Amino acid sequence: MFAYLTSRIARWTIGLLIVAFVSYAMMFYGAGDPIKRMFLDMEGGGVEVDAKTVEVIRAKYGLDKPFPQQFASYLGNLVQGDWGTSIREKRPVWNMVRARLPISMQIGLVATLFSVLLGIPLGILAAFYHNRLIDQVIVGASVFVNAVPIFVTGPILLLFLVVGLDWMDVPFGWKGIFNSQVILPIVVLSLGPLPTIIRQTRAGLLEVMGEDYIRTARAKGLTQGLIIFRHMLRPVLIPVATAVGLILISLVNGALFVEQLFSIPGFGKLTIQGVQQIDYPVIMATVLVGALIVMVGNLLIDLVYPLLDPRITRK
């Protein structure tokens, strides 16, 4: 296990360096001058800015140096725990990430849990009523939900539940994970991964239903519930766990539309703001944190495999 973790950390380090290099290169050569953009936005556009003032501010943020020097300086500061200062917000980037990331993590974890608790039972139900009405309804509904993107589902549910049925007030902002206003954003976010979990569970159960050990368990007189939870689900949950891990990664990194729609000050909204404002330090921080989330998510998936199937070992 120690060797496995050591190799993973080494690969992470190399991967993060590659991601940082490519991201920084793309911003340096193609994203535009953030200092000029800042002045244009402040003045409303079309107003001449003192060139000396622009150069002074550019030098303050180290943007006047060649690319190798800028990148080396950025890596050196990063190793020391300095993520830089936001060009637009004039605040340490680490403080901005630390305030925003937990919000997206909470929403992503709850949305994943909701998808799992609903998707696995629906997948089991569809598998045991294979090619019957219940199966067709579940599969058809999951295909329909999967075909509708989040930025369409959100406004439709918002109109239906808030305007049409008047069941709730308009969800706006962030008041904590236990506040009722977070229900609709979580539901909208959960609908994306739900069809994947249903399909994975259904396909896995259909594959193992005809196995010899399942027939033996039935011949021993075990109840259907015991057969499902003790013998069927463990091998089935391996691909489901893979899907859930990837889903959690996508929910944390990709909740851009949900956070924008419901004005939730999360990590996704911070990413959008950084890109819109061409704020180099913020963009770099969101890219690196997103890459790290992917790597940690993959590690957690690998560590879960031996728990689901003892035949899988990590040496």
Q: What is the C-alpha end-to-end distance of the chain, expressed in Å?
A: 5
Confidence of residue 138 (pLDDT cuts 50, 70, 90): very high
Tokens (6 digits) for 9: 């950390």
CA separation for the pair 114, 225 (Å, rounded): 22
Which pLDDT tens digit goes with each residue over 229-261? 777 777 777 777 777 766 766 666 557 788 888
Confidence of residue 43 (pLDDT cuts 50, 70, 90): very low
pLDDT of 33: 65
Is the CB of residue 305 less than 8 Å from the CB of residue 59? no
Is the CB of residue 79 less than 8 Å from the CB of residue 223? no
Tokens (6 digits) for 37: 């953009």
Predicted structure pTM score: 0.79
- φ and ψ at 85, to 5 degrees? -120, 135
CATH code for the structural domain at 100-308? 1.10.3720.10
pLDDT of 136: 92
Kindly report the number of other CB atoms within 10 A of residue 280's CB atom. Answer: 24
Tokens (6 digits) for 305: 């495999």
pLDDT of 306: 67
Mean pLDDT of the chain: 80
Give domain limits for the chain.
12-82, 100-308
Is the CB of residue 23 less than 8 Å from the CB of residue 284? yes
**Is the per-residue pLDDT at 207 higher than 70?**
yes
**CA 198 from centroid of its chain's CA atoms:** 19
Average pLDDT over residues 249-275: 79
